[in-house]
Amino acid sequence: HTEDELARSSHSNPGKNLVNGIKTNPASNSPKSSLPVPMGPPVYVDLAYIPNHCSGKNTDPEFFKRVRASYYVVSGNDAANGEPSRTVLDALLEGKSQWGENLQVTLIPTHDTEVTREWYQQTHEKQQELNIMVLASSSTVVMQDESFPACKIEF
């Protein structure tokens, strides 16, 4: 592609060749070929959903260093696919330990899983040190013929 062709193609389709907002090499559609995300200040949010059902495929300590949330939602409930991933839960501890400030963080698991229970028990002391609280999903929402566990969150 010439520079003019690239400019025209990105004008007609502004999302083309973008992966997570980063311009990729037009010769490859693979996200692996994307440019590294530039370093910058951390982003502070009230609530963050841990990507990909808390799978270790997309989330590492860098996510938790850069996305600093008061609440993180863990929705994984598929042990066969490693969701939620113990590695990701450990990455939260590692990332949070590098914040330099001890802000309260609440982890909200949407399902009661063996991985989450074991992680909670084995790292409880570290969670307390880092000011991380894990909500227990003890409420149940009943809607017509369906019921499911839920957590109430107040901001």
pLDDT grade for 43, boundaries at 50, 70 and 90: very high
Say if CB 123 and CB 94 are below 8 A apart. no
Per-residue pLDDT at 106 exceeds 70: yes
What span, in angstroms and rounded, lies between the C-alpha atoms of 75 and 108? Answer: 8
Give 32's contacts (C-beta < 8 A, 6+ positions apart): none
Domain spans of the chain? 43-149
Stated pTM of the model: 0.66
What span, in angstroms and rounded, lies between the C-alpha atoms of 54 and 82? Answer: 8
Query: What pLDDT, on the 0 to 100 scale, is given for residue 110?
Result: 83
Query: What pLDDT, on the 0 to 100 scale, is given for residue 18?
Result: 44
Average pLDDT rounded to a whole number, residues 9-36: 46
